[in-house]
Amino acid sequence: MGFISDQLIQWHKTSGRHNLPWQNTHDPYLIWLSEIMLQQTQVTTVLTYYKKFIKRFPDIDILANAEEEKVLELWSGLGYYARARNLHKTAIEISKNYDAKFPSSFDRLLSLPGIGRSTAGAISAFAFKKKKPILDGNVKRVFTRYLGIKEWAGKPSVEKELWEIATRNLPKTNKHIHTYTQALMDLGATICRRTQPLCNNCPLKSKCISFKKNLTKEIPASKPKKTLPINEIYLLIINSRDSYLFEKKPSKGIWAGLWSMPELENFKNTANWIKENLNEDDYKMLEIGKHKTSFTHYKLNIHFQYIFLNSSKLLKTDNCKWIKKSSLKNAALPSPIKKILNTLKDV
């Protein structure tokens, strides 16, 4: 492969990103937080959330002592809430078992909830100056294009090979591991972009196979498509007095810990449910609809009935509550639910 680490370190001096708020620090808490947020989200979106988050939870003890719901609320809009739940669990574990100090051991980092091999590598490099490789989506793209690997990077044998390449390509000493790791991330995000890579500005172009053979549209290969099973759920969206009725999801399963809508087996029992839970016979059906969404392992059809009620009583209060429309922006709701609510007509 040749050693691209020297070229990347040189390139970063003049062309890398130097002013992101989580750079120029060795504080593992801040680095960890940014790495988790960046796992599925673009830098521009993360910037706002990161600032809000560290203002509210400036250190790991404060995060550990917060209620999970408050953490989810602050995460609202970033999606992939499992990241927020794991963030909270990890904070509790570090606060309890590590005297509120991030462990510097790679294996211990890897054992914490939500920290995979690449994230543990990034924390090790940025916070502890350790020579550990990273292999996130951006890095996979750079390596597969540079080497002309046409197979999907998520295939286990290809992934194994990429980890070996990432390890072999580490700089010789740990002196520049911080810059090298940042350079790889920056090159993937700003130059070797998924669409329209800026190959003419790339420090690797003289030896890059995809550039020389014009393969940047084919590489990286997409994940092979397979037919996913389809699940159906039936939700009641009940609107009354400027509020919607929400039901908290259990701590395990789809949308764990978030506020969704009351879920029925089907819509044959809508009237009974409203009578039993809200003591109302009189309601108005405003709309019946279906929203499609998909997850990694299945597709989900969300059937909903949009109902208007005059009163907003609640008999069984266990897991249900009314949330005012004006407070929805900051509530911990699954994103498909937010999307559905945005399509509904105001009453």
Told to judge if 35 belongs to the known catalytic residues of this protein, a careful annotator would answer: yes
**DSSP H helical ranges for the chain:** 5-15, 28-38, 43-56, 60-65, 68-75, 82-97, 106-110, 117-128, 137-147, 156-168, 177-186, 209-212, 270-278, 335-343
Number of residues that bind ligand SF4 (CB under 6 A): 14
**36-37-38 Cα angle (round to 5):** 90
The yes or no reply on residue 46 touching ligand SF4 (CB under 6 A) is no
* The only residue of 71, 84, 134, 191 in contact with ligand SF4, by rule CB under 6 A: 191
Closest approach, Cβ 14 to ligand SF4, in A, equals 16
CB atoms near residue 43 (< 10 Å)? 17
Strands 263-264 and 320-324: unpaired
Quick one: 196 or 266, whose CB is closer to ligand SF4? 196
With H, G, I as helix, E, B as strand and everything else as coil, classify residue 258. Answer: coil
* The only residue of 162, 202, 238, 331 in contact with ligand SF4, by rule CB under 6 A: 202
* The only residue of 210, 260, 277, 305 in contact with ligand SF4, by rule CB under 6 A: 210
Closest approach, Cβ 41 to ligand SF4, in A, equals 22
Closest approach, Cβ 206 to ligand SF4, in A, equals 9
The yes or no reply on residue 300 touching ligand SF4 (CB under 6 A) is no
- Of 300, 289, 295, the residue nearest 340 (C-alpha): 289
- Of 217, 227, 226, the residue nearest 150 (C-alpha): 217
User: 132 CB contacts (<8 Å, ≥6 apart)?
Assistant: 106, 120, 121, 124, 125, 170, 177
Closest approach, Cβ 220 to ligand SF4, in A, equals 10
With H, G, I as helix, E, B as strand and everything else as coil, classify residue 133. Answer: coil
* The only residue of 38, 112, 204, 235 in contact with ligand SF4, by rule CB under 6 A: 204
Burial 99-113 (b: 16+ CB within 10 A, else e): ebebbeebeebbebe
The yes or no reply on residue 278 touching ligand SF4 (CB under 6 A) is no
The yes or no reply on residue 166 touching ligand SF4 (CB under 6 A) is no
Q: How far apart are the first and last CA of the chain?
A: 63
Rounded CA-CA distance 295/304 in Å is: 19
The yes or no reply on residue 221 touching ligand SF4 (CB under 6 A) is no
Active-site pick, 35, 159, 263, 287: 35
The yes or no reply on residue 64 touching ligand SF4 (CB under 6 A) is no
Closest approach, Cβ 181 to ligand SF4, in A, equals 17
Query: What's the length of the chain?
Result: 347
The yes or no reply on residue 11 touching ligand SF4 (CB under 6 A) is no
The yes or no reply on residue 145 touching ligand SF4 (CB under 6 A) is yes
* The only residue of 8, 134, 170, 208 in contact with ligand SF4, by rule CB under 6 A: 208
* The only residue of 124, 216, 239, 260 in contact with ligand SF4, by rule CB under 6 A: 216
Q: Which stretch binds ligand SF4 (CB under 6 A): 19-27, 168-176, 194-202, 257-265?
A: 194-202
Closest approach, Cβ 152 to ligand SF4, in A, equals 17
Task: Map the footprint of ligand SF4 across residues 124-143, applying CB under 6 A.
Answer: 142
Q: Report DSSP letters for 71-122, one per residue.
A: HHHHHTTT--THHHHHHHHHHHHHHHHSTT-----HHHHHTSTT--HHHHHH
Q: What are the catalytic residues?
A: 35
Residues lying near ligand SF4 in the complex (CB under 6 A) are found at 142, 145-146, 191-192, 197, 199, 202, 204-205, 208, 210-211, 216
